[in-house]
């Protein structure tokens, strides 16, 4: 099988490519990425010479490039997206361009070339926010609260429409907060680690009690692999880790692992439209497809923190590129 992975130089995409090459050594993987600030081709240095891996530097908003790439593969998995909520608040336009128009280009080309399967990697943020109780299921109405989540919800609706209208063999996965190696250090865990390494305080939004369900990235990759091969066309599958933690709890774990205390926390003004709680019910993927997380949160978070502490040069390289771009 030959698979086009868009956004494969990013955090989850690069981990997914690594997972697929290991789990399916006979598959061919094409990484299609325009290498925005969050795309780092060095994330895949360890497999760049694999005979079953190739890279195309291109943008999913470039329909001609998308068409050429899709014409050569059996399946498409779309990770490519602008994904940082804070950036979407400051500049919503690029999120609409990439997350909606780019998805439309991929769907059009998938339809044109008779792709066997198109899998859209989405997020639990499209469901909005939860109260103290309850969980997001696949039937929860979409109620996005940020430009980012609205753009992802819009893309999901396009994907659904291509199944209903054209019978394009699509699948949608919606995951909870991922954590693990290679995550761009603007997201909470690597960002806080990088701040502490520089002797700075960590900025915690609001009261720090916003709750997320945390999922180890390689467990997420296994889930996408499972949905690709076993999922029912036209269906949505929620992927969660059953690990609800507040941002304050995550911060305390990081501080403890790095030998710091709560004096290293700086509480800052909460961001606009900050959802209070996300939690996923992953019963569907577990009962239908047999997937479940392999790591406890306690195991995964230690692996993650240790990876960043053992790869300080990777963090420095990202920060140097960021500084050079300013």
What 3-state class would DSSP assign to 214? strand
- Residues 77, 119 contacting (CB under 8 angstroms): yes
33, 124, 213, 225: which one is catalytic? 124
As a residue count, the chain comes to 326
Q: Which residues pair with 54 in a beta bridge?
A: 30
Decide if 225 is catalytic: no
Task: Find the Cα–Cα–Cα–Cα dihedral 235, 241, 247, 251, rounded to 10°.
Answer: -140
- Would you say the C-alpha torsion 299, 288, 230, 107 has a positive or negative sign? negative
Q: What distance in Å separates the CA atoms of residue 64 and residue 69, rounded to the nearest whole number?
A: 9
59, 82, 108, 125: which one is catalytic? 125
148, 162, 184, 218: which one is catalytic? 148
Tokens for 181, please give them.
Answer: 């190696």
Decide if 308 is catalytic: no
What 3-state class would DSSP assign to 181? coil
- Would you say the C-alpha torsion 322, 40, 181, 218 has a positive or negative sign? positive
Decide if 125 is catalytic: yes
For the annotated catalytic residues, the residue numbers are 124-125, 148
């Amino acid at each position: 099988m030959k698979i086009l992975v868009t956004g494969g130089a990013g955090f989850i995409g690069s981990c997914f490519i690594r997972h697929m090459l290991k789990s399916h050594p006979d598959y061919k993987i094409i990484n299609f990425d325009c290498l925005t600030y969050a795309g780092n081709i060095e994330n895949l240095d360890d497999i760049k010479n694999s005979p079953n891996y190739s890279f195309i530097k291109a943008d999913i908003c470039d329909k001609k490039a998308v068409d050429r790439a899709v014409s050569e593969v059996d399946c498409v998995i779309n990770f490519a997206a602008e994904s940082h909520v804070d950036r979407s608040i400051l500049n919503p336009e690029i999120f609409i361009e990439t997350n909606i128009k780019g998805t439309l280009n991929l769907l059009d080309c998938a339809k044109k070339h008779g792709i066997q399967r198109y899998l859209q990697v989405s997020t639990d943020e499209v469901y909005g926010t939860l109260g103290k109780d309850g969980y997001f299921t696949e039937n929860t109405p979409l109620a996005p609260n940020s430009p980012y989540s609205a753009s992802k919800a819009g893309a999901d609706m396009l994907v659904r429409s291509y199944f209903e209208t054209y019978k394009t063999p699509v699948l949608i996965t919606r995951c909870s907060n991922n954590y693990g190696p290679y995550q761009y250090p603007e997201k909470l865990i690597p960002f806080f680690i990088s701040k502490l390494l520089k002797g700075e305080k960590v900025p915690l939004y609001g009261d720090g009690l916003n709750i997320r369900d945390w999922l180890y990235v390689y467990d997420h990759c296994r889930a996408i692999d499972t949905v690709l091969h076993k999922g029912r066309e036209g269906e949505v599958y929620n992927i969660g880790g059953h690990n609800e933690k507040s941002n304050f709890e995550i911060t305390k774990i990081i501080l403890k692992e790095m030998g710091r205390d709560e004096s290293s926390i700086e509480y800052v003004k909460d961001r606009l439209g900050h959802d209070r709680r996300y939690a996923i019910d992953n019963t569907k993927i577990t009962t239908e497809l047999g997937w479940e997380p392999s790591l406890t949160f306690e195991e995964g978070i230690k692996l993650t923190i240790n990876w960043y502490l053992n790869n300080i040069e990777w963090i420095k390289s990202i920060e140097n590129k960021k500084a050079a771009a300013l």
